[in-house]
Structure 1
């Protein structure tokens, strides 16, 4: 049985890597249209909401085009609430075996630090393309993709109000985050643009660079805003042993 699980994990990892290669192609297209990204500085005081977003392959450092559009729409939806942002600090390079785990380590560390220092802040996780894979690694990762196997502690889920991922390579193997994560699935929106080959078995490569134009950041922001409005520490209760109760 363990051999079968190991084989399945290797096959899944290879499929995700192939999707990430295609994500890189789309990332270059998107990056060519962008100027330097600008991530909002986190306020000194704890914000009402903290968005932790990982950009796609080859995008300039910052939130990325999809991430910035998502944050802008979310701020509009949340009205008077303060919204801080954190652009995951990672290469977003074509060396996916190194890049995505680096992003996962950075994102996971920031989320846990925020949960500890700002316990009443509602955290929102987000990612586009390779950045979506980064979010997968810290919130689900049932097959230890890329050998990572370091998802965040279960107790952190209390502090995460919602998750929004776009062009998620895990969709290629039928493992969307919404279906694969017991802790985060119910508060996740996992969006794939039609026949985007990075997240589906389709072949519309330009679709991977058109998430903003297709209105997906707005759709995700509406979903996340509703989750944030209902977010509370009782959403997921963790007992003393650390298991979900």
Structure 2
């Protein structure tokens, strides 16, 4: 009996240690959203869109039936407006905790138009080196859709590292790893830029200053105390964008820019 009790106690201890390890991993992933100036030091490298091959294959299939119709008006299956959004560090692939409600709010603001969305495909890695490849994916998606859908207007943006993805895509240099920027001839198709917790703020810059071409199209939200964009020390402020009203304000701003 004593041996069985000892064995049971050891098994329980192993289960407890596993649970603790899982909890620590979850905290590390959450903390990965914090971006420090050091995270951007010396990060110049080549870039390629993560998993872009499979995405572009799906995109070509989606628009294959519309080839040759780009001369006038939107082809069938094209939305009037498309939100292209990059999630924050550590979030699973998708629009993320800010992008999802933003897409819904934008659809509500533009109830008379069709509104689509695309989640930028990138790693959202904690070392921040995935921002450049994310920008490349954002840009190449816009290029592909713009070719097949000549009347579609774009709202682009991101949260936390996703804001850096957006910065690189609109041509701001030195904010992360290298990535492909939206070509000059397509920038007029970007009606609005909406970002949350933009690490550009650590450099005491705004999109209006760093990318004047987008000054009138861009809105940036940085909560008081947010360490990622404002140099504060309240990490909870960085996690509050999806519930403090700024999502609705961002959607309203973007809708007002749609021609």
Which of 212, 221, 225 aligns to 2:242? It is 212
Report the number of matched residues: 194
> Which one of 54, 59, 70 corresponds to residue 91 of structure 2?
59
CA RMSD of aligned residues (A): 2.3
Deviations 1:36-59 (A, max 9, x none): xxxxx9997110001100000111
Structure whose CA Rg is larger: 2
Partners of 1:161 and 1:100 in 2: CA distance: 22
- Cα shift readout 1:5-43 (whole Å, capped 9, x = no counterpart): xxxxxxxx9727269xxxxxxxxxxxxxxxxxxxxx999
Q: What is the aligned partner in structure 2 of residue 72 from structure 1?
A: 104
Partners of 1:60 and 1:146 in 2: how far apart? Answer: 20
SS for the counterpart of 2:213 is coil
The equivalences for 1:24-173 within 5 A come to 45-97=77-129, 99-143=130-174, 145-148=175-178, 150-173=180-203
- CA distance in structure 2 between the aligned counterparts of 1:215 and 1:104, rounded to whole angstroms: 27
CA 1:47–1:113: 2 relative to 1, 3 Å: same
**Contact in 2 for aligned 1:16/1:169 (Cα 8 Å):** no
TM-score by length of 1: 0.74
Give ranges in structure 1 of 5+ residues lacking alignment.
1-12, 20-40, 232-245
In the alignment, the residues of structure 2 paired with residue 70 and residue 135 of structure 1 have an alpha-carbon distance, to the nearest angstrom, of: 15
User: Matched residues in 1 for 2:165 and 2:193: separation?
Assistant: 12
Q: Indicate how the Cα distance of structure 1 residues 149 and 65 shifts in structure 2: closer, same or farther if over 3 A, else same.
A: closer
**TM-score of the superposition, structure 2-length normalised?**
0.70
Single out whichever of 134-143 and 45-54 deviates more from structure 2: 134-143
Structure 2: runs of 5 or more not aligned: 1-34, 42-58, 64-75
Q: Distance in 1 between matches of 2:83 and 2:120?
A: 10
